[in-house]
Amino acid sequence: MRWIAWLVSALTLHTAVNARALRTPVTRPLETWTSVLLPLRNEAHRVESCLRSLLAQDDSGHLEVLVLDDGSTDGTADRVTAIAAGDARVVLLEGRPLPEGWLGKPHACQQLADAASPASEVLVFVDADVVLAPHAVAATVATLLDTGLDLVSPYPRQEAPGATRLVQPLLQWSWLTFLPLRLAERSSRPSLSAANGQLLAVRRSVYDRIGGHAAVRDQVLEDVALLRAVKRVGGSGGVVDGTQLATTRMYDGWQEMVDGYSKSLHTVPAVVPALLSVLYVAPVFGRSRAARIACTAGVLGRMISAKRTGGRVLDSVTHPLGVAALVGLDLRARVAHRRGTQSWKGRAL
């Protein structure tokens, strides 16, 4: 147990270092032609907040908003038309049928990119569950250009209602704890990649060089795969602080979160949940001083992550239980993958 205590303590120290190293976006007027791309499928219940926040952007006349309705059956397109009525910046596209070999979101994103204005130097992809601050797009683009990176992903502040608070904050904690952020930005190693498609900006020239989303057409985690594709052609990128730029509620309840995680967790190497169990769950059952140190260090790391990313610091005391729940979700996802029963928004994966 002693080596576990040392390792967890070292990882918590790394979390603190990363919390200081995490880039904070700069704010200045948008001076670069930019296309904001919003893929939608059955999002009538939440597209309004997202789209209205896009229409409220401080764009200095350098912004277009392209929205693609990907075969929705809930009136999503009608909601978009009503919200954007009279705003010439918004173009609503009808998605084409899904080709063989493609997953839905990469195909929708590729259609949006193909329709973007040739004048746009930056493509900003946004998910429907994201609400942006008025300066968000300008700050995202400025950060991309000022850092010299080819892709930046400002990580939104995550709203986690009810029981989802047990697991959802582990997303930010995971990359703050295990990923050396500044090194990862420039590293070509695929394993040193973190991105979030909820808000993601990429240089148009680099996006075209990798072949766009066609390069990740069959990837469930298309955001991370897109960054890896950028790195394969010599590009760079990673996550930056987005807590002041955007908020998001990925899931409204536990079952919705279970369904969402079940479609993607099987892509994580099996050694990861095993390691998490050893480091953050097993010490709870120990009686030694080393076990108590490991538990305390794990909770402290979660507290550092929560404070840095706008989360609920007090929820950190549930960290071992949250990790155990995540491991259970991982097992569920692997079983579903083996049985071929995974689906998302009415489409088999």
Q: What is the mean pLDDT of the chain?
A: 92
Report the percent of the chain where pLDDT is more than 70.
97
Listed residue (176, 233, 175, 238) closest to 202, CA to CA: 238
Listed residue (321, 289, 318) closest to 303, CA to CA: 318
The pLDDT, as a whole number, for residue 160 is 87
The pLDDT, as a whole number, for residue 278 is 94
pLDDT digits over 16-43, tens only? 999 999 999 988 899 999 999 999 999 9
The pLDDT, as a whole number, for residue 334 is 85
On the question of pLDDT at 14 being above 90, the answer is yes
Mean pLDDT for the stretch of residues 189-198: 91
Listed residue (160, 181, 219, 166) closest to 327, CA to CA: 166
pLDDT digits over 37-89, tens only? 999 999 998 999 999 999 999 887 889 999 999 999 999 999 999 999 878 88
The pLDDT, as a whole number, for residue 254 is 86
Superfamily covering domain 22-248: Spore Coat Polysaccharide Biosynthesis Protein SpsA; Chain A (3.90.550.10)
Domain boundaries, the chain: 2-20+254-336, 22-248
Distance (Å, whole) CA 72 – CA 345? 10
Task: Using pLDDT thresholds of 50, 70 and 90, give the confidence band for residue 90.
Answer: very high
The pLDDT, as a whole number, for residue 347 is 54
Task: Using pLDDT thresholds of 50, 70 and 90, give the confidence band for residue 341.
Answer: low
Comparing 119-133, 255-269, 289-303, 316-330, which segment has the lowest mean pLDDT?
A: 255-269
Task: Using pLDDT thresholds of 50, 70 and 90, give the confidence band for residue 345.
Answer: low
Task: Using pLDDT thresholds of 50, 70 and 90, give the confidence band for residue 343.
Answer: low
Distance (Å, whole) CA 14 – CA 177? 6
pTM tops 0.75: yes
Mean pLDDT for the stretch of residues 283-302: 94
Cα dihedral across residues 26, 29, 31, 36: positive or negative = positive
